Structure 1
Amino acid sequence: MVTVNEAKEKIIANTPLLPTEKRNTEASAGYVLAEDILSPMPLPSFRQSSMDGYAIIHSDVTGKGISLKIADEAKAGLTTVQTLTAGTAIRIFTGAPVPEGATAVIMQENTVVENGQVVINEYPVAEGKNVRNIGQQVKKGAIALAKDTFLTPGSVGFLLGMNVPEVEVYRKPRIGLLVTGDELLKQDEPLSHGKIYESNSAMLVSALGQEGILRVEVKYAKDDLESTMAALQDLAEKNDVVLATGGVSVGDYDFVGKALSGIQAETVFYKVRQKPGKPLLFAKTSKTLFFALPGNPASSLVCYYEYVLPAIRKLSGRSEFFLRALKMPVTVDYSFDGERDEFLKAYANQASVTPLTGQESFALRSFAVANAIIYLPVKQQNVRKGDLVEVHLLPF
């Protein structure tokens, strides 16, 4: 049995970086850059107005109330080059090209228009005011986004604004999921005594979807060694990571551990000194990582967030693997016995965190409203209201 920290260290140490692939930039959010992106153009590529107002020569404004003749108009998308002469102004709109010779833009709120003249009610006017200069965001040939940058919607917009149509990124892992348990029913089957509806697969597929993994191969196996081995072998041949839910404990009908040995997977560790989720197994072959998760749904989801998700993120090139952690004051007293660290389903606001009722490994109702997990090591078995505890924020 390993500790929580030992388990995390072993997982990260045994998780490689996946190969790269080209992706259309518009579909690259959630991926990690595998190359520096050099700007193919300056951004902006021409001087732009950042305001609706009037393009002027700043030195023409020698005091408040100066009037300038309105000589022309410049709107966004204008392709002709305009030139501003001394003593005149050009009506201009946000994003429009600033005319040659103009040195500032006065926002329209500081002007009054009378008889074809614009009265400037601002003084002094700084040179360059409200003008976006060429290359102000990024110069041509400069690093626009560095390798290992996690791409966000803002990244997509920035790259497409420079006409970067595709990027080299680390690919996301292919995931296979094995569901075991003869007691399980599919959603459209009638409920009978001794049976329960299977929900772990949809729960885990949904969690993977939050990480941008939208295709998961799901297989079901009977509670026998032969079918479990066959399913694991098939999933391993096609996927980078295989998750199994259920069948990993020490019961007579728990075959996942034996099946992994049967397909020549090397067990890195089995069992973690924690509650819930003690019977977690992590194994590997040269091509595939295996996580055998407990069948109890709350245990399975805790293990996914604390152990599987960091591996997926490392495979995908992320530099931050684990859930965001912070210290927060707890709102109630809490204590536990035993020699295992505890993970508590919890709800955190901006000021504090509250453990939820229903901490049993089978109880998923509390996870349905949780937005955090409290991590309590054994050395922190007795906490009092107001004590600081380690909080892991769930992804949303």
Structure 2
Amino acid sequence: MVTVEEAKKRITANAIALPTVLKPVPEALGYVLAKDVLASLSLPSFRQSSMDGYAVLHTDVSNENIILPIVAESKAGGTSKLSLKPGTAIRIFTGAPVPAGATAVIMQERTSVENGNVIIKEYPVAENLNVRNIGQQIREGDIALAAGTYLSAGAIGFLTGLNVQEVEVYRKPKIGILVTGDELVKTGDALGDGQVYESNSAMLVAALTKEGIHQVEIMYAEDDLASTISSLELMATRNDVIMATGGVSVGDYDYVGKALEAIGAETIFYKIRQKPGKPLLFAKTQKNHFYALPGNPASSLVCFYEYVLPALRLMSGRKDHFLPSFKLPISHAYSFNGERDEFLKASVSNAQVTSLEGQESFALRSFAVANALIYLPVTQQNVYAGDLVEVHLLPL
């Protein structure tokens, strides 16, 4: 049995980024850049107005209520060949080219118009007021986004504005989910005596989808060693990571550990000193990672978020692989006995964290409304209202 800290160290030490692929920029959301992207043009590529208003020479505004004749108009998408003569103004709109000779844009709200003249009610006027200069955002040839950047919606927009059409990114892992347990029934089928509806696969697929991982295969194995071995062998030929749910404890019908041994997987650790989720097994071959998750749904999801998700993020090239972690005061006292660290389903609000009812390893209702996990090491078995505790924020 290993500690929580040791388990995370061993998993991250074995998780390396997968090979790279080329992705069209509109399809690269949620991926991580494998190479720097250089700007092929400056942004803005011409002087732009950031306001609707009037382009002027800032030194022409020598006092309040100066009056200048309006001699032309510059609109977005219009010509950039307009030129402003001193002592005049040009009507201009947001995003439009700032005429040559103009050094400021007076926002429309600070003006009035009479008989073809603009009365400027702003004074003094600074040079470059409301003007976006060439390269103000980025200059041609500079690094637009560095390798290792996670491609958010903003990044996709930024790259598209630079006319970048495809990027080299780290491939995301292909996932296999092996469901074990003869007591499990698929949703929609009739329940027999002693049976329950299988929910772990849907839960894990949902968590993977949230992470932007869509290549997921689900298989079901009977509670016997031969079926478990053949299923794992087949899934290993088509996936990078295989997650088995159930069949990893010490019962007579728990075959996942024996099956992994039979296919030549090296066990990195088995069992973590924590509650829930003690019987987590991590093994690997040269080509695959295997995570044998507990069958109890809440235990399975805790182990996914705390151990599997960080590994998947590292394999996808991400540096921020662990859940966001910070300290918050707990809203009420909590204590536990034993020699295992505890993870509590929790809710963060109003700058404090509250542990929820239903902490049992089978209970998903509390997970359904949780937005965080509280991590309590055995050295912190008794906490009182207001004490600071470690909080891990869940991806929602």
What TM-score bracket applies, with the shorter chain setting the length? over 0.9
Counterpart for residue 276 of structure 1 = 276
| Superposition deviation, residue 189 in structure 1 | 0.6
Does residue 1:372 correspond to 2:372, yes or no? yes
Counterpart for residue 35 of structure 1 = 35
What are the Cα deviations for residues 117-162 of structure 1, in whole angstroms up to 9, with x where unaligned? 1111111111111110000000000011111011110001111011
| Superposition deviation, residue 188 in structure 1 | 1.6
Checking the alignment, whether the CA contact within 8 Å between 2:177 and 2:244 is kept in structure 1 is: yes
Counterpart for residue 136 of structure 1 = 136
Counterpart for residue 56 of structure 2 = 56
Measured in 2, the distance between the counterparts of 1:90 and 1:172 equals 52
Counterpart for residue 90 of structure 1 = 90
Measured in 2, the distance between the counterparts of 1:123 and 1:358 equals 64
Change over 3 Å in CA distance of 1:165–1:98 after alignment to 2: same
| Superposition deviation, residue 215 in structure 1 | 2.4
What are the Cα deviations for residues 146-201 of structure 1, in whole angstroms up to 9, with x where unaligned? 11011110001111011011111111111010000000001121112111000000
Counterpart for residue 219 of structure 1 = 219
What are the Cα deviations for residues 334-360 of structure 1, in whole angstroms up to 9, with x where unaligned? 111110001111111141111111111
Measured in 2, the distance between the counterparts of 1:5 and 1:65 equals 69
- Once structures 1 and 2 are overlaid, which stretch shifts more, 327-336 or 280-289? 327-336
Structure 1 residue identity aligned to 2:67: S
Counterpart for residue 99 of structure 2 = 99
| Superposition deviation, residue 80 in structure 1 | 5.0
Measured in 2, the distance between the counterparts of 1:125 and 1:364 equals 62
Percent identical among aligned pairs is 67
Counterpart for residue 246 of structure 1 = 246
Does residue 1:3 correspond to 2:6, yes or no? no
| Superposition deviation, residue 57 in structure 1 | 0.9
Counterpart for residue 323 of structure 2 = 323
Counterpart for residue 154 of structure 2 = 154
Q: Between Structure 1 and Structure 2, how many residues are aligned? A: 396
Structure 2 residue identity aligned to 1:268: I
Structure 1 residue identity aligned to 2:205: V
4+ long deviations beyond 3 Å:
none
Long gaps (5+) in structure 1: none
Checking the alignment, whether the CA contact within 8 Å between 2:75 and 2:94 is kept in structure 1 is: yes
Structure 2 residue identity aligned to 1:220: Y
TM-score, length of structure 2 as denominator length:
0.99
Matches within 5 A, 1:201-240: 201-240=201-240
Counterpart for residue 393 of structure 1 = 393
Checking the alignment, whether the CA contact within 8 Å between 2:80 and 2:98 is kept in structure 1 is: no
Counterpart for residue 342 of structure 1 = 342
Measured in 1, the distance between the counterparts of 2:326 and 2:103 equals 49
Q: Determine helix, strand or coil for the equivalent of 2:237.
A: helix
Structure 1 residue identity aligned to 2:190: P
What are the Cα deviations for residues 274-308 of structure 1, in whole angstroms up to 9, with x where unaligned? 11111000000001000000000000000000000
Measured in 2, the distance between the counterparts of 1:15 and 1:314 equals 6
Checking the alignment, whether the CA contact within 8 Å between 2:80 and 2:97 is kept in structure 1 is: no
Checking the alignment, whether the CA contact within 8 Å between 2:293 and 2:303 is kept in structure 1 is: yes
Measured in 2, the distance between the counterparts of 1:351 and 1:16 equals 36
Measured in 1, the distance between the counterparts of 2:243 and 2:136 equals 48
Measured in 1, the distance between the counterparts of 2:5 and 2:186 equals 36
| Superposition deviation, residue 325 in structure 1 | 0.6
TM-score, length of structure 1 as denominator length:
0.99
Checking the alignment, whether the CA contact within 8 Å between 2:281 and 2:292 is kept in structure 1 is: yes
Counterpart for residue 65 of structure 1 = 65
What are the Cα deviations for residues 99-122 of structure 1, in whole angstroms up to 9, with x where unaligned? 111111111111110000111111
Structure 2 residue identity aligned to 1:309: L
What are the Cα deviations for residues 218-271 of structure 1, in whole angstroms up to 9, with x where unaligned? 000000000100110111111111000000001110000000011100000000
